[in-house]
Chain A
């Protein structure tokens, strides 16, 4: 909540001015990223501690719960160590959490309290630039977290396939889908108490989207419910990549997340225009 805008200028901002327009397809959205980068320079410890958090989870599961569980049988009958089974799911879940917190709590604070978007729209920037810029910021941060996470996984021996190279873009895709929908949801929020609903959606997804144990644990009707949730598709995608369980169904997972993100961007852009310019 303490994201005050700072007047600090410097090299980070300069990069975004020098890079030719259109390279990222963001147009004026790049100015929004520039603004966010300048703010984070004053609070560098927030992203740094954010990188540490999933690492604690990896270590705890490796040392502790992994030893208690032993192994989980894969689709081709081979048993994988529990830590290697859970790690890609935590990658997907942390991509989701990071994207949702950034696009709900932070965006809401900027929208209602800091009034940053009102100021932004007083410039030649348009509502869609704000939406694109904010989602791109969330993606940049998410990519950074995911890269650290994948490197840690490799260090702990949790990666079993060269497909794992694609786990990073997969995590970014998950982050994109969730931050787009999160931002669209934020524009409907009436007050802080509505954010408990965010928690109500995130926690069951985190716990039940095959994050900690396979889909076969559930009765069939519950399996169908789980298969409809977005995090299930994210977890299945990252897991198949790091464990080498790649198949055509991965394209379904990718398509689900792409469509979800596209809908989110469209709704968020339209809603911000309604909220701020009417």
Chain B
């Protein structure tokens, strides 16, 4: 077994003791969001005069892949901030791992693999719920799973790199309130970003969540062009790779002392 997977094994083992609690956020919230937003609010949107801007699909079909991409980003963000801080300061798990033959790179890679696993579970749960709601038309929708993991990693690596530089968790609530929530609300999850004023639209094009939303939506609705697929995937992969490079340095600095 590669050494990094041994680190992953620790997180998996810990999760086996606490998985029940995460069922709520993983399965119940997709169901509730799709019911409330897709079906409930959707009944008013579909009666409205603006369904053409949604590309002629029902609001439920429009919003579901967007919510799946957002779930990937939010899961990755929460798994790569507080747990990293916890493993450094609160439970000091990373130091325990380093007392074994594992090296810093293994610890980082192992934790990131675990985060990718949690993102896969979150996106997989969305796909299952979407299928139950009848919004998954084709087998290509399964491609949302790797796409969601890519979205998650584009958030997880930079945030883990940042978390490793922090002395306490007070910056994390700012990241969520001033970062993740605005992204969730303005990245085209709930409405097409063509409705945004030009300035905000340019910001949306730069932010990773919009790329993730457009990628997952295009895969679900079968409207994705090859150029868009390559563009979105390249942008998200570049962000994930850059975050990983920074994380190797911040982890090394923090764990060497």
Chain A: residues with CB nearer than 8 A to chain B? 1-2, 43, 45-46, 49-50, 52-53, 56-57, 59-60, 63-65, 67-70, 72, 82, 193, 195-197, 199-200, 203-204, 207-208, 212-213, 217
Query: Are B25 and A199 touching (Cβ within 8 A)?
Result: yes
The 4 closest A-B pairs by CB, nearest first: A64-B191, A207-B36, A60-B185, A196-B21
Contact of A49 among B53, B168, B178, B185 (CB under 8 A): B178
Residue B173 at the chain A interface, CB threshold 8 Å = yes
A1: nearest residue on chain B (CB-CB)? Answer: B169
Query: Are B45 and A193 touching (Cβ within 8 A)?
Result: no
9 extra interchain contacts, Cβ-Cβ under 8 A, other than A43-B170, A64-B196? A68-B59, A69-B41, A69-B44, A69-B45, A193-B18, A204-B32, A207-B33, A212-B37, A213-B40
Q: Interface residues of B toward A: which range?
A: 35 or more
Residue B20 at the chain A interface, CB threshold 8 Å = yes
How far in angstroms is the closest Cβ of chain A from B186?
Answer: 6
Complex Cα distance, B14 from A196, in Å, reads 17
Task: Find chain B residues with CB under 8 A from A217 CB.
Answer: 40, 43
Chain B: residues with CB nearer than 8 A to chain A? 18, 20-22, 24-25, 28-29, 32-33, 35-37, 40-41, 43-45, 48-50, 53-54, 59, 168-170, 173-174, 177-178, 181-182, 185-186, 190-191, 195-197, 200
Query: Are B174 and A49 touching (Cβ within 8 A)?
Result: yes
A67: nearest residue on chain B (CB-CB)? Answer: B195
B interface SS class: helix
How far in angstroms is the closest Cβ of chain B from A102?
Answer: 13
Interface centre among B20, B21, B48, B50 (most CB of A within 10 A): B21
Task: Find chain B residues with CB under 8 A from A69 CB.
Answer: 41, 44-45, 48
How far in angstroms is the closest Cβ of chain B from A106?
Answer: 12
Query: Are A50 and B177 touching (Cβ within 8 A)?
Result: yes
Complex Cα distance, B177 from A56, in Å, reads 9
Contact of A208 among B18, B36, B178, B185 (CB under 8 A): B36
Task: Find chain A residues with CB under 8 A from B49 CB.
Answer: 70
What are 21 A-B contacts defined by CB distance under 8 Å? A2-B170, A45-B174, A49-B173, A56-B186, A57-B185, A63-B197, A64-B190, A64-B196, A65-B41, A65-B45, A65-B190, A65-B191, A68-B48, A70-B48, A70-B49, A199-B25, A200-B28, A203-B32, A207-B35, A212-B37, A212-B40
Query: Are B20 and A2 touching (Cβ within 8 A)?
Result: no
A86: nearest residue on chain B (CB-CB)? Answer: B41
How far in angstroms is the closest Cβ of chain A from B59?
Answer: 7
How far in angstroms is the closest Cβ of chain A from B90?
Answer: 9
Complex Cα distance, B46 from A70, in Å, reads 11
Complex Cα distance, B182 from A63, in Å, reads 13
How far in angstroms is the closest Cβ of chain A from B230?
Answer: 28
Complex Cα distance, B41 from A157, in Å, reads 22
Task: Find chain B residues with CB under 8 A from A49 CB.
Answer: 173-174, 177-178
Task: Find chain B residues with CB under 8 A from A197 CB.
Answer: 24
Task: Find chain A residues with CB under 8 A from B43 CB.
Answer: 213, 217
Interface centre among B18, B25, B41, B200 (most CB of A within 10 A): B41
Complex Cα distance, B37 from A208, in Å, reads 10
Complex Cα distance, B18 from A193, in Å, reads 7
B23: nearest residue on chain A (CB-CB)? Answer: A196
